[in-house]
Structure 1
Amino acid sequence: MPVLETTAIPQQLPSPVPTVGRGPSHALPTARELVHKTQPSEVLVTDAARLGEDRFAVAALWPHDHLLYQPVAGGAADPTLLVETARQAAAHISHRFYDVPLRGMPFVLTTFEADIDAPGLPHAHAGALPVLLDAVCTRTTVSPGRLGLAMEVTFHIGGLRRGRARLRWEVMGERRYAILRGRRCPTPPPTPLPPSAPALPLPPHVVGRRRAADVLLAPPPGAEPDAWRLVLDRGHPVYFDHESDHIPGMVLLEAMRQAAHAATFAASGPAGSWSPLSLAVSFELFGALDAPVTVHAHRSPDPEASGHADFHLTATQFDRTLVRARLRGAAPSRRHAAEEAPAC
């Protein structure tokens, strides 16, 4: 799976999004159902306009203060905002422009790639931050009761390009979805696993979060290095905003981001702050909500040779891989880490 390169964009580069006719409005959030959200505070997309047969301008607002999406090291916006905005744009476009019904047609996300342009995503310091997406869709599957789409989207903030994303998903009828889910679920072992003791989540700062309630990782029962046990709170207002019959893909992706941060923290200490600059994710199986999941993070050798810390990550259940990912972030300086390490 290729790592997406980050590219510095000249500050004078204008946004290429056409402005012919009425553009999308940033005035109010779109209907929650169009982006598969329950809580109004979780809706980022506000509107969309068709620019061509399969090209769309999508407007979004990034909140100044959010329960989960807080600024990362250096004051940049949380990169997860870019990922979630692209996911919401995909749902919005599917329903509004490709006539996908709001009920009875489950969505299945298969791949997601994203990269952030230097120097990072700006954070909304006062009020919400307007974001404009230029999205181009390609129909990959068209058959009765089934639609496959791929989307390439460019993010523009203040007239400047700030990031890109590519994702693929399928929409299908409930019967076809039930068959697919049955085929793509890990099979439990014939002998039930013994109940495990309640897991104590890692401290929030180790995984790059501010609240203990947002931590998704705990040490595994054994002493396996660079491995963590997934901890799910199905009452979390962001991770489980709406009902799901499997572990949501965004939860698995966030768990991998936290694992990369935890691995960096273990190697570099308090100065080991890490935030993704690019990612490539492939969703392979549906994860059962009531079975243990282990997240593994393997750091690529000699990451500081290129100034980046690259991680290959997997989430497994019953020894089957649910998702694979490759994440790249800036490698913390060893000298900086030594200077900021606490005295013994």
Structure 2
Amino acid sequence: MHASVPSANLQLVAQPSKPDPHRLLTFEHGVPRRLVHKAAVSEVLLTDALMLDTDRFVVAAQWPREHLLYNGAANGSSDPLLVAETIRQAVIYLSHRFYAVPEGHHFILDSLEFDIDAPGIPQGTGSPLAVVLDVSCVPTTDNPRRFAMDMECSIHVEGHRYGRAGLRWGAMDHRRYTMLRRPEGPAPKPAPTAVACGPALRPADVGHLHERDVLLSPVPHAAPGTWLLKVDQDHPVLFDHGSDHIPGMVLLEAFRQACHPAAQRDNASAPTPSIAVLTFAATSFSAFGRLGAPVTITSHPAPGSDDLCFGLAATQEGRTLATGIQQWVRVPKPRIPTQRSHTDREGEGRC
């Protein structure tokens, strides 16, 4: 026996490499707003999605340079709640487009979490930010009459991985949703009324610029870290469309605001100027929040952790609506360039 020797005339042909799926995505326009359950086109973050394999996808999103609510941290990183809103839209879009969930079905959010590498995802400089999610979905039920899944994804910007996120959700038709919301059967829907709240916190105390974005009001004589939820059903982002309950994104934003004062408290006494940024959040939703009834938000240092890790809860009429944990990280405060006088700049930049 002998080994064969390739002929000198034989030429090896290189196999074409598979294209990078990230490069196949388009960022030219948003997906149809009805497929992410948004009323305003400006609130649609997704631009495209492709199926790679069974339960494997890539999803494209574009984050605006300025958002009506999610405007980023003082260190120049993107608002981490844009991650939460992006994956919320992603699971709805994937459900309708690739899993044949009919339009008109109700979506139930069970849990949501994200873990972002410090100091955060950079903001777009001079243009919106192109974001890509590498998504894996896993069914969580064998019942063919139910739709429930887990989603896990990694977050990429310009080829760099900046963290991960996950979400558990389900979808159901209107009949089953009505039974879930009212086990005793359909009942007349009362007109929601505003909950009487005291003066809200200042926008700067919760990391915002506008009074309309403040969701917390102090509770007189209550323990530290106790707040009353301020629900504004006319808010253009948090109530982009009508809802028969308090949306999960409202509670997630309230949790973030409840941590902000304590997270920023010791920045001034730090050895170097610093700010605290949110990098990790895990939230579980256990009950629907009723509009028109008070909701208490509580925040406290998580046991056995550092001073920037917080446990959170939202309660209403003796029921727990949601619980969560958030980890903040202290990062150097960016320097603000000193402006030079007009005379110092004379002669510069002439053309």
**Structure 1 position 173, deviation (Å):** 1.5
Residues 132-175 of structure 1: CA deviation (Å, up to 9, x unaligned): 11001111125354200111111110100012111110101212
- The aligned amino acid for 2:218 is P
| SS state at 2:108 partner | strand
TM-score scaled by length of structure 2? 0.81
How many angstroms apart in 2 are the aligned matches of 1:327 and 1:81?
A: 16
Distance 1:175 1:238, change over 3 A: same
1:87 counterpart residue number: 88
Distance 1:220 1:33, change over 3 A: same
Out of 286, 300, 307, which is 1:298 matched to?
A: 300
Is the 8 Å Cα contact of residues 285 and 323 (structure 1) preserved in structure 2?
yes
Higher mean alpha-carbon deviation, 207-216 vs 273-282, is at 273-282
Higher mean alpha-carbon deviation, 265-274 vs 288-297, is at 265-274
Is the 8 Å Cα contact of residues 264 and 272 (structure 1) preserved in structure 2?
no
How many angstroms apart in 2 are the aligned matches of 1:269 and 1:108?
A: 41
Task: List gaps (5 residues or longer) in structure 1.
Answer: 1-16, 185-194, 337-344
Percent identity for Structure 1 against Structure 2? 46
How many angstroms apart in 1 are the aligned matches of 2:303 and 2:331?
A: 15
1:275 counterpart residue number: 277
How many angstroms apart in 1 are the aligned matches of 2:171 and 2:197?
A: 37
| SS state at 1:130 partner | strand
| SS state at 2:199 partner | coil
Residues 234-280 of structure 1: CA deviation (Å, up to 9, x unaligned): 00000100111100000000000000002334566798843311111
Distance 1:110 1:302, change over 3 A: closer
1:198-237 equivalence runs, <5 A = 198-237=197-236
* 2:167 matches 1:170: no
Q: Number of aligned pairs?
A: 304
How many angstroms apart in 1 are the aligned matches of 2:164 and 2:147?
A: 23
2:255 counterpart residue number: 256
Residues 168-188 of structure 1: CA deviation (Å, up to 9, x unaligned): 10101212212222369xxxx
Is the 8 Å Cα contact of residues 150 and 166 (structure 1) preserved in structure 2?
yes
| SS state at 1:89 partner | helix
| SS state at 1:26 partner | coil
TM-score scaled by length of structure 1? 0.82
What is the alpha-carbon root mean square deviation over aligned residues?
2.5
Is the 8 Å Cα contact of residues 217 and 230 (structure 1) preserved in structure 2?
yes
How many angstroms apart in 1 are the aligned matches of 2:47 and 2:331?
A: 36
Higher-Rg structure is 2
Which structure dedicates a bigger proportion of its chain to helix? 1
- The aligned amino acid for 1:23 is L
How many angstroms apart in 2 are the aligned matches of 1:107 and 1:114?
A: 20
1:262-341 equivalence runs, <5 A = 262-265=261-264, 273-300=275-302, 304=306, 309-331=308-330
Is the 8 Å Cα contact of residues 218 and 226 (structure 2) preserved in structure 1?
yes
1:66 counterpart residue number: 67
Is the 8 Å Cα contact of residues 197 and 230 (structure 2) preserved in structure 1?
no
Is the 8 Å Cα contact of residues 303 and 331 (structure 1) preserved in structure 2?
no
How many angstroms apart in 2 are the aligned matches of 1:18 and 1:140?
A: 31
Residues 42-70 of structure 1: CA deviation (Å, up to 9, x unaligned): 10000100100110010100101111111
Is the 8 Å Cα contact of residues 296 and 313 (structure 1) preserved in structure 2?
yes
Higher relative contact order (CA 8 A, sep 6+): 1
Is the 8 Å Cα contact of residues 147 and 172 (structure 2) preserved in structure 1?
yes
* 2:143 matches 1:143: yes
How many angstroms apart in 2 are the aligned matches of 1:310 and 1:183?
A: 37
1:49 counterpart residue number: 50
Higher mean alpha-carbon deviation, 59-68 vs 196-205, is at 196-205
**Structure 1 position 199, deviation (Å):** 2.2
**Structure 1 position 71, deviation (Å):** 1.9
2:114 counterpart residue number: 114
1:192 counterpart residue number: none
1:26 counterpart residue number: 27
| SS state at 2:53 partner | coil
Residues 168-225 of structure 1: CA deviation (Å, up to 9, x unaligned): 10101212212222369xxxxxxxxxx9754211001111111111000000143322
1:340 counterpart residue number: none
Higher mean alpha-carbon deviation, 268-277 vs 312-321, is at 268-277
Task: List gaps (5 residues or longer) in structure 2.
Answer: 1-17, 185-193, 334-351
How many angstroms apart in 1 are the aligned matches of 2:285 and 2:296?
A: 15
How many angstroms apart in 2 are the aligned matches of 1:149 and 1:18?
A: 28
- The aligned amino acid for 2:278 is P
- The aligned amino acid for 1:28 is H
How many angstroms apart in 2 are the aligned matches of 1:123 and 1:222?
A: 40
1:339 counterpart residue number: none
